[in-house]
């Protein structure tokens, strides 16, 4: 399995978790995921923006036009209350998957 297979199924959760620490523009979200993961997950813009659009359509994030630290115009994304609740739901599911996989890897 390559990292893109795993990332496609978890990208929305990673985005929500990054936004839990504060609002960011798209590039900042991708860089934070890469930084925190130790470059294990390299987020391509072609995957990031469709995921952000899905999250916005589900009302887990809001966006507005603002400026980056360097003064460039950018769409800024912020977590909603529904998004915060979704982090907990998705994290619980993820923990269940990881625990199940670990049991198989250690005991099969």
Residues 6+ apart with CB under 8 A from 86: 16, 58, 60
Q: What is the pTM of this model?
A: 0.86
What is the tens place of the pLDDT at every residue in 16-58? 999 999 999 999 999 999 999 999 989 999 999 999 999 999 9
Token couple for 22: 């504060």
pLDDT at 9 over 70: no
The helix/strand/coil state of 79 is strand
Partnered with residue 78 across adjacent β-strands are: 62
Q: Could you state, in order of their start, the residue ranges of all structural domains in the chain?
A: 3-107
Topology classification of domain 3-107: Arc Repressor Mutant, subunit A (1.10.10)
């Amino acid at each position: 399995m390559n990292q893109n297979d795993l990332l496609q199924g978890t990208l929305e959760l990673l985005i929500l978790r990054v936004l839990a620490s504060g609002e960011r523009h798209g590039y900042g979200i991708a860089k934070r995921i890469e930084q925190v993961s130790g470059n294990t997950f390299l987020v391509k813009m072609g995957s990031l923006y469709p995921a952000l659009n899905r999250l916005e359509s589900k009302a887990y994030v809001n966006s507005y036009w603002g400026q980056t630290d360097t003064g460039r115009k950018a769409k800024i994304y912020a977590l909603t209350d529904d998004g915060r609740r979704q982090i907990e739901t998705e994290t619980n599911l993820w923990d269940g998957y990881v625990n199940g996989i670990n049991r198989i890897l250690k005991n099969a």
